Amino acid sequence: MRYFKIIILAFFVERASSLWFFENIANSLGFRQKPQIEEKDENGTCTSEDTLEEWGYELNNGPDHWGGICKCGKKQSPINIVTTLTQPGNVDPITFSNYDAQCNITVLNNGDTVTFVGFDDCPNQPYISNGGLGSRYDLHAFHFHWGHTDLDGSEHTLDGRKYSLELHLLHIKHGLTFEEAIHQPDGLAVIAIWFSLWFDSAPMSTLMPAIELVSTAENQTATISNFQVSQLLPQDRNQFYRYEGSLTTPTCNEVVIWTVMKQVQSITFSQMNIIRRIHLGGENNENRGLFSRMLGLIRQPALIRSINPDIGIPGANHRPVQPLNGRTVFFHG
């Protein structure tokens, strides 16, 4: 009973004093140490790809702890797109080729997201060209980012607005392997599509059964036969934002031509809830659910919570927006 009281007391002390109690304990036990990583080479160039081996989205391995280029890079993603500061662009529309082809793909819960692969083996591999890309880029995979509530989840934001879900269609410059592409300034082209709660279930409907199959544990897979990736694209593909940035996960290589579609896609309330129930990896994954969410809330100082309610709580997987550092964002359309 006395221990119980101590625990209760500790709970309130912790809440009242915004963290210092458990923070100190955690630090003395070595849980919260920031990794010591040299981000720059001897010439001061930001090149190191070192980062946490077990990076994630939780308090002790989340975006604040990612090292290497994630930390010292100057062209990082995602960004907040400020519409009044975008420059008018005038490139041709993007050509989506083979986006209607039927591909047999595999869904994998890799612990950080659900990723859909297998396009490299599709007889008619989808690819994009034109649209100022300067080359052909082959669709390699796609995945999603989301949050704990409908008000949070997207990585890119528009005038500060967050969307519930963000799709990344990852394309590799034609002729390169992924390993080669992440070491070339224009090695990757990613198309980002925002999803917002609405009544149309069609864009996500084919994916949902497979997502449910892989949602219970890390490293589970499922297959989808005859999948047409075109169903994920918004109707208006001619209006988009364009800028140069990075991967939004370690090792954060600055090799991505970003295209963020202006037209927002629809996902239903129940589809979004299924996605939020996906069991992602991480140290707290045994306690997922209400308890760990409460724990996540309690562990954060109120100020940080009010800025980003998702930081450090298991189950969300989006990186906060990064400084623009003088980059230009173009709007085509």
Ligand X SMILES: *[C@@H]1O[C@H](CO)[C@@H](O)[C@H](O)[C@H]1NC(C)=O
Which residues here bind ligand X, judged by CB under 6 A?
A: 41-43, 104, 123, 218-219, 225
Tell me how far apart the alpha carbons of residues 198 and 221 are, in angstroms, rounded to a whole number: 28
Q: Check residue 63 and give left, alpha or beta (phi > 0: left; psi -120 to 50: alpha).
A: alpha
Rounded least distance, CB 100 to ligand X, Å: 14
Tokens 């299924």 found at: 274
Q: Which is nearer to ligand X, 41 or 200 (CB)?
A: 41
Tell me how far apart the alpha carbons of residues 283 and 65 are, in angstroms, rounded to a whole number: 15
Tell me how far apart the alpha carbons of residues 207 and 315 are, in angstroms, rounded to a whole number: 19
Parallel, antiparallel, or unpaired: how do β-strands 240-245 and 330-332 relate?
Answer: antiparallel
Rounded least distance, CB 134 to ligand X, Å: 26
Q: Which is nearer to ligand X, 224 or 311 (CB)?
A: 224
Rounded least distance, CB 19 to ligand X, Å: 30
Rounded least distance, CB 285 to ligand X, Å: 8
Q: Which is nearer to ligand X, 43 or 90 (CB)?
A: 43
Rounded least distance, CB 108 to ligand X, Å: 9
Tokens 């709660």 found at: 197
DSSP assignment of 61-109, as one string? Answer: TSGGG--THHHH-SS-S--EE-GGGPEE--PPPEEEESTTS-EEEEEEE
Q: Which is nearer to ligand X, 221 or 273 (CB)?
A: 221
Residue 288 gets which letter from DSSP?
T
Q: Which is nearer to ligand X, 88 or 123 (CB)?
A: 123
Nearest to 59 by CA among 19, 28, 111, 21: 19
Q: Which is nearer to ligand X, 57 or 240 (CB)?
A: 57
Rounded least distance, CB 31 to ligand X, Å: 20
